[in-house]
Amino acid sequence: MRKNMGVADRIIRVIIAATVAVLYLTNIISGTIGTILLILAGIILLTSIFRICPTYLPFGIKTCAK
């Protein structure tokens, strides 16, 4: 698969994932919604690590430089 995420996109995703993780670990968000958000944060973190966003693929969106 070709990479389709730029640096700014990756940084924003890592910040969002870290924020959700901190909120979950400090019990500001908890329960079922907290667990769902933590799982989504993990997915966001993985997509930023591998630089591939599956939701960008069908639309042909690329935020990376050529």
Distance CA 46, CA 56 (A): 15
The predicted model scores a pTM of 0.85
**pLDDT tens, residue by residue, 5-58:** 999 999 999 999 999 999 999 999 999 999 999 999 999 999 999 999 999 989
Of 1 and 5, the one with more pLDDT: 5
Distance CA 54, CA 10 (A): 14
Which pLDDT belongs to residue 19?
A: 97
3-state SS of 7-64 is: HHHHHHHHHHHHHHHHHHHCCCCCHHHHHHHHHHHHHHHHHHHHCCCCCCCCCCCCCC
